Amino acid sequence: MSTPTIYHCYCTGVTQKRVLRAMAEQGVRELDDVRRASGACTACQSCRCELEALLAAVAEGSITLGPVKPSSS
C-alpha cells in the first residue's frame, strides 16, 4: 500500500512533500518565500491557513526537515 499524497495547494498541485523539500533545500521559512520556492498558495489562496500551520509546525519543531535526497529527475 502506498502512502497517500498530501496536497497543500489543489490549484497548483503542490504537495506537502514539495513544500517541505523547498524549505529544506532553500532554507525558506516565510510564507512569501515558500510560495516562490514551491509554487504553493499562488492561486486562490484557500490553502494559506494550512501552509501557515505547516510553517508554524516546522518553526516549533513538530515537523523536522530531514536531509534532502537527490531527486530522480
Which tens digit of pLDDT belongs to each residue from 4-36?
A: 678 878 899 999 899 999 999 998 999 999 999
Q: How far is 13 from 17, CA to CA, in rounded Å?
A: 11
Between the alpha carbon of residue 59 and those of residues 41, 54, 55, the distances in Å are 19, 9, 6
The predicted structure's pLDDT at residue 32: 95
- Asked if residue 72 has pLDDT above 60, the reply is no
Q: Are 6 and 19 in contact (CB under 8 A)?
A: no
- Asked if residue 2 has pLDDT above 80, the reply is no
Q: Burial level of 60, CB count in 10 A (0-12/13-18/19+)?
A: exposed
On whether the pTM is more than 0.75, the answer is: yes
More confident residue, 7 or 1: 7
Fold held by 7-60: Arc Repressor Mutant, subunit A (1.10.10)
